[in-house]
Structure 1
Amino acid sequence: MAKKTSVLATGGAGFIGSHVVVELVDAGYDVVIIDNFENAATDVLQRIARITGTEVPTYAADVRDRELVRHVLGRHGIDVVIHLAGKKAVGESVAEPLMYYDANIGGGIALLEAMGAEGVGKLVFSSSATVYGPGDAPMDESHPVGPSNPYGRTKLMLEEVINDAVLAGKISVALSLRYFNPVGAHRSGLIGENPRAVPNNLFPFVAQTAAGWHDRVRVFGDDYGTPDGTGVRDYIHVVDLARGHVAGVAHLLSGRMQRGHERLNLGTGRGHSVKEVLAEFSRQCGFEVPHEIVARRPGDVAACVANPQRAEHLLGWRAERSFEEMCADHWAFQRAVLRQEAEPAA
């Protein structure tokens, strides 16, 4: 029997990573996870197994541990790496920039060194739309870069490190996938976004407010030049995002890219405002989610929407799930978290 293609997912137990792992397993790949569980619960592994019927080999370790990463790459005969591990809170990155450069840039460099040493040449990198500077939406990949915070700068810097690694022959091919705003959850309700700290992103904060964990949602400004005055963002269902990674892996394995580094937007191409998010969540949960309008937040832009046509052209991928599905699935997962917390301890 021919060996199945093996994929390593660093950060594979996190919100996005767990969905990527599920989609990879469903697509027939052998998957291995490295995650330090700093921002992920260990029970997500059992949840992935319940969804897929497969126990995914997992190493509880930091990607900066070069020798461990080399061991995993060699032992499992890894063909492609998806690098999702890293710190991701914008506000925290402003307060602790050195920690972010150490974790995100240091982790990426250690991974690339291990890949080069083990002869693993294919990489999919979890980047971000925060690499872009301000400007009119929708944004394609030629939009000027100009991140406004250390988190975004680590993503852009690591894209450049990857580019140089390809040019130097340390790895052969890479895709940097620039996410817009991942939301939603797996339809099973078993995996989704459940931040340990107060969420920095709108969807989980709205969901937690609907669940009674916060008294209200603060809407930062209603005087932008948008249809209803509130900020507009391109929200993408996390399952669509995960399937974009599967399409990326297939593209790298197809041989159409012999060498090089492509940067691709993953979004829907359509924006929704803060007020639209609140209205749809209120419809899904059956009551109005409390909120108040406050002053604009420094650094926020009026709109950030993807032009995803390049990803569709190269990968044959496009986002399929609706805005209503994003809100419904996110709320379903939040309700599942509430039920779990209400269950008596065994």
Structure 2
Amino acid sequence: MKKILVTGGCGYIGSHTIVDLVENGFDIISVDNNSRSSERLLEGIEKITGKKVKNYKVDLCDFNDTNAIFEENEDIAGIIHFAAYKAVGESVEKPLLYFENNLVSLINLLKCVEFFKIPYFVFSSSCTVYGNPDHIPVTETTPTKAAESPYGYTKQMGEQIIGEFSHVNDTACVLLRYFNPAGAHPSALIGELPIDKPQNLVPVITQSAIGKLPGITVFGNNYPTRDGSCVRDFIHVSDLAHAHTLALQYLIDKKNKSNPEIFNLGTGSGITVLETIQAFEKVTGIPLNYTIGANRPGDVVAIYANNDKARQQLGWQPEFNLEDILGTAWKWEQKLKEDEKLFTGKNIQLN
């Protein structure tokens, strides 16, 4: 049983990936300072898997505290690195915050990888590295363009840093470029848990539907798309999580053809923001209150994936469709509402 360190393990994608890793026989430890996440999701992981996962409440921007984790766990075989700030709009407003947090933490982690000779490293990248592509769907060989946000730049820089690192170290690396993670674990025991106002479309939809938000703002309807709203590729978070397990095993089995190796993780089809809203209404029967707002700085107009490489080389096959994504997200939102009733009746933040 190989020990794997998951950074950002209390976060949305990190928690779902821990579940998948445990279910596939890996021993997991987590590091997450909970600045934008909740240890509540660790409780959900334990209920789903029967395993209690240890979390180190450490800021990866602190090298000494980060190094101490490796000194205590000398048998770490691999790392899956999620920990980063990820709100596009906030990154436009606070670029230095994003550059410092996302890049210093990565560099500190790679210093430890180098010193402790960790053999496998999987990086959480993003389709934002493609910028506004000239042609869609994008493949792994699609040229990257200027990022549309500082968040996107941190992913581009992160990939470059790992690329240079991998050329002079024996660590085998995979860069996973994912598109728009959404949905929740079918058990409704873990899901997306925004600490502040949600930035992603699906939790905005579910919080609006349940009454936590007054409505939905669609950022622009004048883009050159089917209905004028942005096009995205929504991938169920459990499908995304399983791809990380497959990527790790791919490295362990020494099947990688380059170092680092890149994979797109998306469904291969695009859906507009307005179509997503309409799909939620159809799945749940709940009408949504939405208005059209101004275009949002940092937003890419349209992007979706060609996922042939991940299918062929990783053996990855997305199992959930858009209706599953929206249905599980709504089930999770309802579960959060029920949990709130166990307290004082106030609409509290569960963090």
Q: TM-score, normalised by structure 1?
A: 0.94
**Contact persistence 2:5–2:31 (CA under 8 A):** yes
Task: Compute the displacement of 1:299 (Å).
Answer: 4.1
CA distance in 1, matches of 2:211, 2:177: 33
Give SS of 2:256's match: coil
CA RMSD of aligned residues (A): 1.7
Equivalent in the alignment of 2:15 = 18
Equivalent in the alignment of 1:55 = 52
CA distance in 1, matches of 2:61, 2:218: 38
Question: For the structure 1 residues 287 and 341, does the alpha-carbon distance in structure 2 shift closer, same or farther, using more than 3 Å as the test?
Answer: same
Question: For the structure 1 residues 265 and 280, does the alpha-carbon distance in structure 2 shift closer, same or farther, using more than 3 Å as the test?
Answer: same
The one-letter code of the counterpart of 1:41 is S
Question: For the structure 1 residues 33 and 218, does the alpha-carbon distance in structure 2 shift closer, same or farther, using more than 3 Å as the test?
Answer: same
Question: For the structure 1 residues 185 and 154, does the alpha-carbon distance in structure 2 shift closer, same or farther, using more than 3 Å as the test?
Answer: same
**Contact persistence 1:20–1:245 (CA under 8 A):** yes
CA distance in 1, matches of 2:297, 2:108: 34
Give SS of 1:23's match: helix
Q: How does 1:15-164 map to 2 (within 5 A)?
A: 15-76=12-73, 77-134=75-132, 135-145=134-144, 146-164=146-164
Equivalent in the alignment of 1:230 = 229
Task: Compute the displacement of 1:259 (Å).
Answer: 6.4
Asked if 1:340 corresponds to 2:310, the answer is no
Of 293-302 and 76-85, deviating more is: 293-302
Equivalent in the alignment of 2:348 = none
- Can you give the 5+ residue segments of structure 1 that lack an aligned partner in the other structure? none
CA distance in 1, matches of 2:216, 2:127: 24
Output one character per residue of 1:61-110: Cα deviation in whole Å (capped at 9) or x when no partner: 11233333333334331111000001111111122211111111100000
Q: TM-score, normalised by structure 2?
A: 0.93
Question: For the structure 1 residues 299 and 116, does the alpha-carbon distance in structure 2 shift closer, same or farther, using more than 3 Å as the test?
Answer: closer
**Contact persistence 1:284–1:331 (CA under 8 A):** no
Question: For the structure 1 residues 44 and 229, does the alpha-carbon distance in structure 2 shift closer, same or farther, using more than 3 Å as the test?
Answer: same
Over 6 Å off, 4+ runs: none
**Contact persistence 1:67–1:114 (CA under 8 A):** no
Of 41-50 and 240-249, deviating more is: 41-50
What percent identity do the matched residue pairs reach? 39
CA distance in 2, matches of 1:345, 1:330: 25
Question: For the structure 1 residues 255 and 219, does the alpha-carbon distance in structure 2 shift closer, same or farther, using more than 3 Å as the test?
Answer: same
**Contact persistence 2:148–2:300 (CA under 8 A):** no
CA distance in 2, matches of 1:118, 1:343: 46
- Can you give the 5+ residue segments of structure 2 that lack an aligned partner in the other structure? 346-351
CA distance in 2, matches of 1:157, 1:241: 22
Task: Compute the displacement of 1:276 (Å).
Answer: 1.6
Of 15-24 and 68-77, deviating more is: 68-77
CA distance in 2, matches of 1:39, 1:100: 13
